[in-house]
């Protein structure tokens, strides 16, 4: 996993909970990297998963809620640092449709072997979209948070169903999104 994910997670924990908690997580998990991350380097997925699990233990917050909150935080950071990919889309659904063909395409240019999730979409009418997600990492709850972050950025109210889900032994997740 790219270091940008780790540096952003570190930032979120320090800003939202406190540097003492971040230090305690590193002491407890004792990651091979020693918690020294650079945005462009690759780090083992297990380090992030272990740190999220430890944060869950320390805060009493379920892992799914933490991962979703991290997705929202991550979208906010992306919107600040890479706003051009977001601001040129006229609305929430158009942005979601652009993720794979625009944003992931740019990520592939910047980083060798980025190991991105597979995304595809189907739109049946102007107010609804089915977004299909698959990844060996099964970070669909991170995707859920990213979607929530995008909706907030676009000031869009929506409903969303998440079924099927890879955590229930499906080979993909489907987010059925309807703008209201």
pTM: 0.93
Fold adopted by 69-179? H-NOX domain (3.90.1520)
* Region 115-130 average pLDDT: 94
Element (H or E) spanning 106, and its range?
helix 105-110
What residue segments make up the domains of the chain, in order of their start? 3-61, 69-179
- How confident is the model over 167-179, as pLDDT tens digits? 999 999 999 999 9
Under 8 Å CB-to-CB from 51, ≥6 apart: which residues? Answer: 9, 25, 26, 29, 31
- How confident is the model over 98-117, as pLDDT tens digits? 998 878 887 778 777 777 89
């Amino acid at each position: 996993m790219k270091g940008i994910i780790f540096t952003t997670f570190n930032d979120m924990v320090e800003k939202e909970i406190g540097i003492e908690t971040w230090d305690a997580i590193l002491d407890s998990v004792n990651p091979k990297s020693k918690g020294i991350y650079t945005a462009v380097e690759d780090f083992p997925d297990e380090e992030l998963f272990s740190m999220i699990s430890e944060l869950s233990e320390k805060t009493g917050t379920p892992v799914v809620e933490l991962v979703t909150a991290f997705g929202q935080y991550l979208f906010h950071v992306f919107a600040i640092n890479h706003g051009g990919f977001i601001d040129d889309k006229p609305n929430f659904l158009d942005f979601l449709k652009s993720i794979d063909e625009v944003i992931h395409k740019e990520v592939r240019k910047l980083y060798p072997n980025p190991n991105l999730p597979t995304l595809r979409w189907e739109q049946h009418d102007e107010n609804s979209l089915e977004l299909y997600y698959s990844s060996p990492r099964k970070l669909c709850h991170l995707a859920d948070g990213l979607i929530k972050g995008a909706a907030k950025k676009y000031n869009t109210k929506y409903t969303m169903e998440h079924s099927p889900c890879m955590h229930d032994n499906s080979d993909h997740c489907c987010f059925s999104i309807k703008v209201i």
